């Protein structure tokens, strides 16, 4: 496949990129990594998208989606799908505000998860289950 998505399970940042890849019909494979481990050991956050055709590695879900919109969508052969994808991924003031709210919510959810995982006296099973640790 042209694209590789490196993401954590059950994380809205990776889900957004995954949904867009599915929506536009891009050929990709997914690799699951732990977010904290990836950040500490590799110095990279997740998700990130690798475009094997251009040898590009794009980090941050907003940048991944913008990249796909600019680079992949114009190459979609089916004109109806191309127009729908371009319309769906169009960036304007309203979508930027919505993306900012989604990103804030994502950080709040991550903070909630980290609180329960890192607090020594808390039961972490529910949080870890919701985060996909037992998949």
Q: Over the chain, what is the mean pLDDT?
A: 84
Does 114 or 78 have the greater pLDDT score? 78
H/E element, 44: none
pLDDT digits (tens, 9 = 90+) for 71-82: 999 999 999 999
Give dist(CA 113, CA 12) in Å, integer: 13
For residue range 14-66, list pLDDT tens digits in order. Answer: 888 999 999 999 999 999 887 666 555 655 567 889 999 999 999 888 899 99
The predicted structure's pLDDT at residue 85 = 94
Q: Spell out the alpha helix ranges (H) of 25-135.
A: 35-42, 61-67, 79-89, 93-118, 125-130
- What lies within 8 Å, CB to CB, of 28 at 6+ separation is 1, 2, 3, 4, 5, 21
Q: Indicate the pTM of the whole model.
A: 0.74
Place of tokens 């190459």: 75
């Amino acid at each position: 496949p042209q694209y590789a998505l490196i993401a954590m399970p059950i994380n809205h940042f990776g889900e957004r990129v995954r949904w867009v890849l599915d929506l536009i019909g891009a050929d990709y494979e997914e690799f699951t990594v732990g977010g904290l481990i990836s950040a500490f050991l590799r110095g990279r956050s997740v998700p990130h998208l690798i475009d094997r055709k251009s040898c590009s590695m794009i980090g941050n879900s907003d940048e991944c989606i913008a990249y796909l919109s600019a680079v992949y969508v114009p190459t979609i052969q089916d004109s109806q799908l191309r127009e729908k994808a371009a319309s769906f991924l169009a960036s304007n003031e309203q979508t930027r505000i919505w993306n900012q709210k989604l990103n804030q919510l994502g950080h709040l959810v991550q903070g909630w998860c980290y609180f329960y995982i890192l607090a020594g006296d808390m039961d972490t099973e529910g949080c870890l289950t919701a985060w996909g640790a037992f998949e």
